């Protein structure tokens, strides 16, 4: 496994400045944002696909620093009921796949998307309950009419260009856990797998180690985001984990995203790294930072230090454990 970072973390810096910082931290690889919600501050696929000289400059920026591009990420909602948004995110996804092919990058990261409740919707609708009866009816319509048809087409597009997509299970989208991720893969094809981010699973009361092992049995874990979540016991006991308060309202929320080690300790992250090793994951541990209580620089360095320590390997028999 390699240690890397999702470079949108350094969106206030130029590509060269960001890569210098990543190189100085002793990391191996970089995940690059190409559109969608994270934006494309360091990489605009449309420009790089059209301008060969700019493409070569972009590529050399990584090569000269001995950094690998581990994934291109365009987290968006191509199933959005607003056609303008859906088309924009779909176009960014297609351009990202084409750029990945040109760069020789195997993996593109995105969300599954979430449609509305019918052909007349304006906003996405995420179903979280089995009753009233409207809910399962809407869910069935979403998968049959929107989700499966769209991703079946993308399966063929991905296969044609020898790229795979790592769908990030995320509440608010139709794929938000192992069950829905594997449902998408089973119905649409094996170019579709998972970008595993424990931070979205912790607050849903899922055990990342169990989830990793299950995905490993299906050879469906394509990429990994390292981000933590801290759960506020008092607020959770009072109101549960479904929380619509702003992330900036840290004092009153049931949970917030945190820097690695500030939601779950080093031992938990060693469990997670060991599980990845057990399933044969050889990709990147990509650091993601969304901690509103810690600066970018401090959060990044603390995550690097903890993960480097957790990834120290000891050979026991024929298995490598963290």
For residue 205, with 0-12 CB atoms within 10 Å meaning exposed, 13-18 middle and 19 or more buried, which class applies?
Answer: exposed
Task: Determine, yes or no, domain membership for 82.
Answer: no
Contact 2, 283 (CB under 8 A): yes
Q: Is residue 120 part of a domain?
A: no
pLDDT at res. 136: 97
Distance CA 125, CA 267 (A): 37
- Distance between CA atoms of 71 and 109, rounded to whole angstroms? 7
66 domain-assigned = yes
pLDDT of residue 313: 58
Residue 292 belongs to some domain of the structure = yes
In the chain, which residues have pLDDT < 70? 313-322
Q: Distance (Å, rounded) from C-alpha 198 to C-alpha 215?
A: 13
CA–CA distances in Å: residue 89 to residues 40, 235, 242: 12, 35, 27
Residue 81 lies in a domain: no
Q: What is the pLDDT of residue 316?
A: 40
Q: For residue 63, is it within any domain?
A: yes
**Number of domains observed in the structure of the chain:** 1
In eight-state DSSP terms, residue 145 is I
Q: Assign 18 to helix, strand or coil.
A: helix
pLDDT value at position 312?
75
Reported as a single tens digit per residue, the pLDDT across 59-75 is 999 999 999 999 999 99
What is the DSSP code string of 73-122? Answer: E----TT-SSHHHHHHHHHHHHHHHHHHHHHT--EEEE------SSTT-S
Residue 241 lies in a domain: yes
- Could you list the residue range(s) of the whole structural domain that residue 241 is in? 2-76+89-112+132-321
Query: Which is nearest to 275 in space by CA: 222, 319, 315?
Result: 319
Is residue 220 domain-resident? yes
Q: What's the CATH number where 258 sits?
A: 3.20.20.150
Supply the pLDDT for residue 319. Answer: 47
């Amino acid at each position: 496994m390699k240690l890397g970072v999702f470079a949108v973390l350094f969106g206030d810096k130029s590509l060269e400045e960001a890569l210098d910082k990543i190189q100085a931290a002793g990391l191996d690889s970089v995940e690059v944002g190409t559109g969608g919600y994270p934006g494309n501050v360091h990489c605009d696929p449309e420009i790089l696909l059209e301008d060969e000289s700019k493409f070569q400059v972009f590529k050399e920026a990584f090569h000269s620093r001995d950094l690998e591009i581990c994934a291109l990420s365009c987290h968006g909602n191509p199933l959005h009921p607003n056609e303008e948004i859906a088309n924009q995110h779909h176009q960014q996804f297609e351009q990202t796949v084409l750029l990945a092919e040109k760069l020789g990058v195997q993996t593109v990261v995105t969300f599954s998307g979430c449609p509305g409740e019918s052909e007349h919707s304006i906003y996405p609708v995420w179903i979280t309950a089995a009753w009233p009866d409207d809910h399962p009816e809407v869910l069935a319509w979403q998968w049959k009419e929107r989700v499966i048809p769209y991703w079946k087409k993308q399966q063929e597009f991905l296969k044609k260009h020898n790229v795979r997509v790592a769908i990030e299970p995320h509440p608010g989208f139709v794929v938000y856990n192992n069950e829905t991720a594997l449902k998408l893969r089973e119905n649409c094809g094996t170019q579709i797998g998972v970008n595993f981010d424990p931070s979205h699973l912790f607050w849903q009361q899922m055990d990342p180690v169990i989830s990793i092992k299950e995905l490993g049995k299906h050879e469906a874990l394509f990429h990994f985001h390292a981000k933590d979540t801290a759960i506020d016991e008092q607020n959770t006991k009072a109101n549960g984990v479904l929380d619509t308060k702003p992330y900036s309202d840290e004092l009153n929320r049931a949970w917030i995203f945190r820097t690695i080690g500030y939601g779950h300790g080093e031992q938990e992250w060693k469990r997670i790294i060991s599980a990845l090793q057990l399933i044969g994951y050889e990709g990147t541990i990509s650091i993601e930072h969304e901690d509103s209580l810690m600066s970018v620089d401090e959060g990044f360095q603390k995550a690097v230090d903890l993960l480097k320590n957790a990834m120290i390997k000891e050979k026991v028999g024929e298995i490598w454990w963290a």
